[in-house]
C-alpha cells in the first residue's frame, strides 16, 4: 500500500526544468509537492476532494465507485489533481506518458500561482491538509462516542444545508454586535453624522433637517435590530451554529461542514478563471519551452481534448483560456478604453494596434483581483462571444428538449452571470429566528425567475427542522405566486401569500 | 490490502442495497439503464444517492452553451458535466459510452451479479468441426506451408553443409515439404431460442410496450452472450396469436380481447416444428398486463404450460407489466397453479425503474 510516491529521477529532472520555466514567466506559486500515484489511488484521493485524510462518510465511497467505474469503462480519467494548500500538493498518474506529466506539471504551477495570488483565495486556510485531518479526528471521536449511524445521519442533514453559506462573508470584517452598549444608550446617542466645520458654516454644512432625518433612520435601524437576526442573514449555517439548540458534538460537526464549505467556495467562484489561467500557462510553457518535437502530436491531442466543447456545454477550461488570451491581445494592441470603444469603423478596429505591450502585465493583474462573475462582467466582449460561438439555450416544453435561444451579446452575458451568481444555487436568507413570536425559523428565497425544485425544498426543510427543532418556513415563488412552505415536524403546509 | 476508501465504499453499497439507513432510500437513483441511441451506445447503471438541498427546478433553467447552430435549433444532448477532472459540481450521472454488445452483456452480468447459464443438451448435441491443428509431411499442394517448408529445407542444408551464408540459396526437396493438417473435432453445441410473447390487446399502452422493449433488449443481449446460436421468435397476441418480425412486435398496437392460450398454443407449435426440445435451450418469455379473458382460457393456458411448455423449456418467464386497465389477475393464477416450481419465474414490472430488478429475477437463476 505505502508504495513509494516520490517522483522518479527523470520526473524530478522534468519538474526542476518546468519549475524554472514557470518562474521565468513570472509565476509566483506555493511550492508544489508532486506525488506519483496509481489510478485507484488517484480516484481515491479525488473522491475525498483531494484530502485522503478526510472524515469517513459514505458519499466519498460513492464518488470513488463512480470514478472507478468510469475509469474502467474507459469513460474518463483524472488528469490533474491539485490541492490549495501551502505547500500545494499535486498528484501525477504513474502510468501517464512523459508528455502528459509535463503538461500536468505546467498546469499545476498555474493553479498554484492562482491559489497564492487570487484575492478570493486569500481567506482560505493554507494548512487545510492538516485542518482536514483534524476534522477527521474530531468526527471519529464523535463516532466512537455516539455511534456511526447517529453521527452519519447528522452529517447527512448538515450536507443538505452545505450550500447555505455566504461566499462573500469572509471578505467583510466581523459583524459588530451592538450588545456592548445598552440599547437605551444607543438610542440617546443616535444623531446624524456631523462634519467638522467653522461655526459660521455650521448651518450649511450640517443642515438641521438633514441631521433630523438621519437620526430618524438610525432609530428605525435600532428598532429593527431588536429583531433577530437584525439583518437578513445569508450565512444560514452560521446562524444555525450560533442559535440552534444543538448538542455539543452536533455543533462541532456543523462547524466542520461549514468550514469545509467555505474552504471550497472560492474554487466554485473562480472555476473559469482558475482553469483558464492554468491552461493558459500549460499551453505557454509547453509550446514555447518544455515540449519535445516528438511529443507535439500527443500534446496537441490532449490539449484539445481538455479544451473540447460539446454543444450545450460550456467548458470552463476553454472559455477561461480564450478570455485570458483575448485580454492579453487587447492590452498588447491597446484595444480598450474610450477611444477604441468610440471607434465604429470596422476595418480600423480590426487593424487597431497601439503596440502597448501591456498584455502580460494586465493578465497578472486580472488573475489577482477578479472572480468569475467580475471577470465575465468586465472582459466578455461581443467580439469574443461571436468568435467563440456562444449562445444561450432554454428548455422547449413542446419539443421536450433544449434549444438555442439567442446569440445576442446582452442575453448571453446576462445568462452567464446569472448562472455564475451564487455558483448557480438559489440565494436563501434567514430573516426571522422568532417567526410568529414562537421561535419558528423564517427564510426567504431571493426569487430571480427560476423556481426551486419543490420536493427537494421540502426535504431540505425537514432537515433544517432537525437542526432548528421548531417550525421552519420558506418563502418562495411557485407558479408566479408568493408562497410560504412550512414544516412543523410532522407535516408540510403551503400557503399563498397575499 | 485495505484501502482507506474501502469502509466508505462498503457503507455506500450497504445503503444502496437497503441494508442500512432506510431514510436515504428515497434518494437513491438507479441511474438510467438503457439509451440505445446510435448503434451500441448505452448507459451504465450507476446508483447514486442525492442528498436533497435547495436547488433550482431544472427544465426551465437553461444556460449558456458553445457551438454552432441557428437560434431555435435543438442542442445536442442534455446539460452535462464538463472538464476532465473530478469537480465539486454534481452532474448528470449517466455515463454514455460506446461498447460492443459482448462488453455490454459483461457489464450487465457484473452489475446484476448474474450467474452464467448452464446450457442443457451439451452432452447429447454435437457438431463436427474441422480445425487446422498441426503440420504434416503429406497433404494437398494447396495447403502447403511455405514458411515451414523453407525452414525444413534450410535445416537440411545446414546439416548437410550445403548451405553457404554468402550465397543463401535454399531449394526445398520433396521431403522438405510441409503441409497444414487438420483434425475433425466434435464440439458440443448449445442452441437457444427465445420466444417472446406479448399481449398487444387494447390495454397495453405505449409505456407498457416500451418496458417490454427495454427488457427484451437486455434479455436478448444477455442470452446472446451465453449462446453461440441464438434464434428469436416473436409472437403477439390479443384474442388470436401470430408470429411476427421484431419490428412489428415492438410497434404494433392491436386492440380487442385477450386470449393468452392462443399465444401458448402457437408457441407450442413453433417449438414442435422448428426447435426440438432435446436439442434446444428454450426460453419463452411472456409479457402481459395480466388480463385474460375468462377463467376457461386461463385453465387452458395452465394445461399447455403444464404438459408442454414447461417441461420443454429451460425456464418459463412471465413478466407482468402494470397498466391502468389490466386487472393483473394472471400472475396470481400462475402463482397458484405452479407454487414453488423453479422452472417458472414470475416478475411484476410496475415501472421502468423496476426493469433492473426484473432482469435479475429472470436471469439470476442461471438456468
- Quote the CATH superfamily of domain B190-363: von Willebrand factor, type A domain (3.40.50.410)
CA-to-CA dists, residue B56 to A419, A448, B59, B138, B153, angstroms:
11, 11, 9, 79, 80
Residue A62: name the closest of A41, A39, A83, A43 by CA: A43
A462 CA: distance to closest CA in chain B (Å): 10
Of A315, A312, A354, A282, whose CA–CA distance to A99 is shortest?
A: A282
Residue B253 has pLDDT above 80, yes or no: no
The answer to whether the Cβ–Cβ distance between B54 and A306 falls below 8 Å is no
CA A376 to centroid of chain Cα atoms: 14
Q: What residue ranges do the domains of chain B occupy? A: 1-52+94-99, 126-187, 190-363
Pick from B20, B28, B45, B66 the residue to mutate for testing the A interface (most A CBs within 10 Å). B66
The nearest alpha carbon in chain B to A401 belongs to B74
Q: What is the pLDDT of residue A377?
A: 93
Residue A146, burial from CB neighbour count under 10 angstroms (0-12, 13-18, 19+): middle
Residues of A in contact with B13 (CB under 8 A): 61, 65
CA distance B262 to B294: 13
Q: Determine contact: A318 vs chain B, CB below 8 A.
A: yes
The answer to whether the CB atoms of A389 and B107 lie below 8 A apart is no
Residue A393 near residue A404, CB atoms below 8 Å: yes
* Cβ-Cβ contacts under 8 Å, B20 against chain A: 149
Q: Are A73 and B107 within 8 A, CB to CB?
A: yes
Would you place residue A144 in the very low, low, confident or very high pLDDT band (cuts 50, 70, 90)? very high
State whether A393 and B76 contact (CB < 8 Å). no
Given a contact cutoff of 8 angstroms between Cβ atoms, the answer to whether B212 and B287 are in contact is yes
C-alpha distance from A210 to closest chain B C-alpha (Å):
44
Q: Is A199 exposed, middle or buried (0-12, 13-18, 19+ CB in 10 A)?
A: exposed
Taking CA atoms, B301 is separated from A217, B234, B261, B273, in Å, by: 86, 18, 5, 20
pLDDT band at B19 (very low <50, low <70, confident <90, very high): low
Asked whether residue B123 carries a pLDDT value surpassing 90, the answer given is no
Q: What is the pLDDT of residue A280?
A: 96
Mean pLDDT value across residues B6-30: 73
What ipTM was reported for this prediction?
0.81
Is B80's CB within 8 Å of A75's CB? no
Q: In this complex, do A69 and B54 lie within 8 Å of one another by their Cβ atoms?
A: no
Can you say how many angstroms the Cα of residue A132 is from the centroid of all Cα atoms in its chain?
A: 19
Return the bridge partners of B144, or none. Answer: B179
B151 contact partners, CB below 8 Å, separation of at least 6: none
Percent of chain B with pLDDT over 70: 72
Residue A306 has pLDDT above 70, yes or no: yes
DSSP states of B90-118: -----EEEE--HHHHHHHHHHHHTPPPP-
Does the pLDDT value for residue B111 go beyond 70?
A: no
Burial class of residue B28 (count of CB atoms within 10 Å of its CB; 0-12, 13-18, 19+): middle
From A428's Cα to the closest Cα of chain B, the distance in A is 8
Find the residue in B nearest to A384 (Cα).
B66
Q: What per-residue confidence (pLDDT) applies to B23?
A: 66
Question: By the CB < 8 Å criterion, does A387 face chain B?
Answer: no
> How confident is the prediction for chain A on average, in pLDDT?
88
pLDDT at B88: 32
pLDDT over 80 (residue B227): no
Contact, A478 vs A451, CB < 8 A?
A: yes
A202 to chain B, closest Cα gap in Å: 54
Q: How far apart are CA B208 and CA B200, in angstroms?
A: 10
What's the mean pLDDT when you consider all of chain B? 75
Cell triple for B213: 422493449
The span from the CA of A135 to the CA of A56, in Å, is 10
CB contact (8 A) between residue B54 and residue A44: no
Q: What is the pLDDT of residue B81?
A: 33
pLDDT of residue B120: 59
User: Ranked by mean pLDDT, which of A192-196, B181-185, B355-359 comes out on top?
Assistant: B181-185
Say if strands B316-321 and B344-349 run parallel, antiparallel, or are unpaired. parallel
What residues of chain A, 139 to 168, have a C-beta less than 8 Å from chain B?
A: 149, 152-153, 156, 159-164
The lowest-confidence range among A13-22, B139-148, B249-258, B323-332 is B249-258
Share above pLDDT 90 across residues of chain A, in percent, rounded to a whole number: 56
If one compares A331 and B107, the residue with the highest pLDDT of the two is A331
State yes or no: pLDDT of B58 exceeds 70: no
Confidence class for position A77, pLDDT limits 50, 70, 90 = confident
Position A177 pLDDT exceeds 70: no
Range in A30-44, A296-310, A319-333, B43-57 the model is least confident about: B43-57
**Do the strands A401-406 and A390-396 form a parallel or antiparallel pair, or are they unpaired?**
antiparallel
**Integer angstrom CA distances of residue A61 from A13, A66, A130, A386, B10:** 36, 9, 22, 43, 7
Minimal Cβ distance to A52: which of B2, B4, B77:
B4
Please tell me the distance from the alpha carbon of residue A116 to that of residue A406, in angstroms, as a whole number. 38
B87: which chain A residues are within 8 Å (Cβ-Cβ)?
271
What tens digit of pLDDT does each residue of B257-292 get? Answer: 778 888 888 888 888 888 888 778 888 888 888 877
Higher pLDDT, A278 or B275: A278
The kind and range of the H/E element at A474 are strand A472-478
Contacts A394 to B, Cβ<8 Å: 60, 62
- Nearest-Cα residue of chain B relative to residue A317: B83
CB pairs A-B closer than 8 Å: 243
Amino acid at each position: 500500500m505505502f508504495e513509494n510516491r516520490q517522483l522518479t529521477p527523470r520526473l524530478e529532472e522534468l519538474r526542476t526544468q518546468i519549475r524554472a520555466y514557470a518562474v521565468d514567466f513570472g509565476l509566483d506559486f506555493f511550492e508544489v509537492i508532486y506525488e506519483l500515484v496509481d489510478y485507484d489511488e488517484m480516484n481515491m484521493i479525488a473522491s475525498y476532494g483531494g484530502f485522503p485524510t478526510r472524515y469517513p462518510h459514505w458519499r466519498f465511497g460513492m464518488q470513488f465507485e463512480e470514478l472507478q467505474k468510469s475509469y474502467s469503462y474507459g469513460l474518463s480519467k483524472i488528469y490533474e489533481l491539485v490541492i490549495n494548500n501551502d505547500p500545494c500538493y499535486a498528484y501525477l498518474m504513474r502510468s501517464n506518458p512523459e508528455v502528459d506529466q509535463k503538461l500536468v506539471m505546467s498546469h499545476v504551477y498555474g493553479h498554484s500561482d492562482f491559489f497564492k495570488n487570487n484575492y478570493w483565495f486569500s481567506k482560505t486556510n493554507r494548512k487545510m491538509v492538516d485542518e482536514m485531518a483534524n476534522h477527521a479526528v474530531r468526527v471519529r471521536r464523535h463516532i466512537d462516542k455516539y455511534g456511526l449511524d447517529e453521527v452519519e445521519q447528522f452529517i447527512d442533514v448538515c450536507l443538505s444545508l452545505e450550500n447555505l453559506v455566504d461566499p462573500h462573508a469572509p471578505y467583510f470584517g466581523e459583524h459588530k454586535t451592538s450588545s456592548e452598549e445598552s440599547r437605551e444608550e444607543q438610542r440617546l446617542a443616535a444623531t446624524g453624522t456631523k462634519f467638522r466645520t467653522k461655526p459660521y458654516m455650521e448651518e450649511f454644512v450640517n443642515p438641521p433637517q438633514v441631521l433630523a432625518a438621519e437620526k430618524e433612520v438610525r432609530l428605525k435601524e435600532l428598532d429593527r435590530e431588536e429583531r433577530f437576526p437584525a439583518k437578513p442573514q445569508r450565512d444560514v449555517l452560521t446562524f444555525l451554529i450560533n442559535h440552534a439548540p444543538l448538542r455539543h458534538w452536533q455543533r462541532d460537526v456543523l462547524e466542520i461542514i461549514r468550514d469545509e464549505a467555505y474552504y471550497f467556495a472560492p474554487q466554485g467562484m473562480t472555476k473559469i478563471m482558475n482553469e483558464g489561467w492554468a491552461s493558459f500557462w500549460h499551453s505557454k510553457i509547453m509550446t514555447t519551452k518544455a515540449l519535445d518535437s516528438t511529443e507535439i502530436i500527443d500534446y496537441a491531442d490532449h490539449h484539445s481534448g481538455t479544451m473540447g466543447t460539446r454543444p450545450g456545454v460550456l467548458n470552463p477550461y476553454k472559455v477561461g483560456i480564450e478570455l485570458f488570451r483575448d485580454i492579453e491581445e487587447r492590452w498588447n494592441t491597446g484595444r480598450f478604453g474610450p477611444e477604441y470603444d468610440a471607434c465604429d469603423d470596422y476595418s480600423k478596429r480590426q487593424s487597431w494596434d497601439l503596440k502597448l505591450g501591456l498584455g502580460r502585465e494586465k493578465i497578472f493583474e486580472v488573475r489577482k483581483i477578479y472572480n468569475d462573475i467580475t471577470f465575465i462582467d468586465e472582459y466578455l466582449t461581443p467580439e469574443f462571444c461571436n468568435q467563440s460561438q456562444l449562445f444561450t439555450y432554454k428548455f422547449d416544453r413542446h419539443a421536450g428538449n433544449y434549444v438555442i435561444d439567442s446569440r445576442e451579446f446582452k442575453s448571453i452575458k446576462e445568462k452567464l452571470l446569472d448562472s455564475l451568481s451564487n455558483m448557480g444555487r438559489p440565494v436563501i436568507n434567514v430573516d426571522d429566528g422568532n417567526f410568529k413570536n414562537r421561535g419558528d425559523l423564517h427564510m426567504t428565497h431571493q426569487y430571480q425567475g427560476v423556481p426551486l425544485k419543490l420536493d427537494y425544498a421540502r426535504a431540505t426543510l425537514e432537515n433544517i427542522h432537525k437542526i432548528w427543532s421548531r417550525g421552519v418556513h420558506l418563502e418562495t415563488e411557485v407558479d408566479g405566486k408568493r408562497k410560504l412552505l412550512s414544516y412543523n415536524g410532522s407535516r408540510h403546509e403551503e400557503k399563498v401569500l397575499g | 490490502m485495505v484501502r482507506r476508501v474501502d469502509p466508505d465504499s462498503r457503507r455506500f453499497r450497504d445503503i444502496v442495497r437497503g441494508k442500512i439507513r432506510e431514510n436515504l432510500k428515497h434518494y437513491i437513483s438507479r441511474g438510467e439503464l438503457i439509451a440505445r441511441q446510435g448503434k451500441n451506445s448505452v448507459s451504465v447503471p450507476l446508483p447514486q444517492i442525492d442528498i436533497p438541498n435547495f436547488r433550482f427546478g431544472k427544465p426551465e433553467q437553461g444556460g449558456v452553451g458553445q457551438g454552432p447552430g441557428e437560434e431555435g435549433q435543438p442542442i445536442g444532448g442534455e446539460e452535462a458535466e464538463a472538464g476532465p477532472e473530478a469537480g465539486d459540481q454534481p452532474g448528470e450521472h449517466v455515463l454514455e459510452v460506446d461498447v460492443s454488445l459482448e462488453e455490454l452483456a459483461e457489464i450487465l452480468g457484473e452489475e446484476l451479479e448474474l450467474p452464467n447459464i448452464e446450457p442443457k443438451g451439451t452432452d447429447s448435441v454435437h457438431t463436427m468441426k474441422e480445425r487446422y491443428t498441426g503440420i504434416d509431411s503429406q497433404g494437398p499442394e494447396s495447403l502447403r506451408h511455405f514458411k515451414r517448408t523453407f525452414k525444413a529445407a534450410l535445416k537440411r542444408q545446414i546439416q548437410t553443409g550445403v548451405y553457404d551464408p554468402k550465397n543463401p540459396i535454399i531449394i526445398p526437396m520433396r521431403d522438405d515439404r510441409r503441409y497444414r493438417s487438420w483434425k475433425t473435432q466434435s464440439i458440443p453445441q448449445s442452441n437457444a431460442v427465445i420466444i417472446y410473447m406479448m399481449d398487444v390487446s387494447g390495454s397495453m399502452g405505449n409505456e407498457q410496450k416500451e418496458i417490454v422493449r427495454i427488457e427484451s433488449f437486455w434479455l436478448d443481449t444477455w442470452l446472446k452472450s451465453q449462446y453461440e446460436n441464438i434464434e428469436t421468435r416473436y409472437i403477439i397476441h390479443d384474442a388470436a396469436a401470430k408470429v411476427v418480425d421484431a419490428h412489428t412486435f415492438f410497434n404494433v398496437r392491436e386492440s380487442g380481447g385477450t386470449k393468452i392460450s392462443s399465444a401458448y398454443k402457437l408457441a407450442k407449435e413453433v417449438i414442435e416444428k422448428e426447435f426440438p426440445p432435446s436439442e434446444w435451450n428454450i426460453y419463452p418469455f411472456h409479457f402481459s398486463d395480466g388480463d385474460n379473458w375468462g377463467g376457461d382460457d386461463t385453465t387452458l393456458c395452465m394445461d399447455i404450460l403444464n404438459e408442454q411448455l414447461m417441461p420443454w423449456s429451460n425456464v418459463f418467464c412471465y413478466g407482468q407489466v402494470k397498466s391502468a386497465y389490466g386487472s393483473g389477475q394472471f400472475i396470481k393464477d400462475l402463482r397458484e397453479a405452479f407454487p414453488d416450481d423453479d422452472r417458472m419465474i414470475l416478475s411484476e414490472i410496475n415501472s421502468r425503474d423496476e426493469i433492473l430488478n426484473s432482469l435479475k429475477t429472470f436471469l439470476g437463476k442461471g438456468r
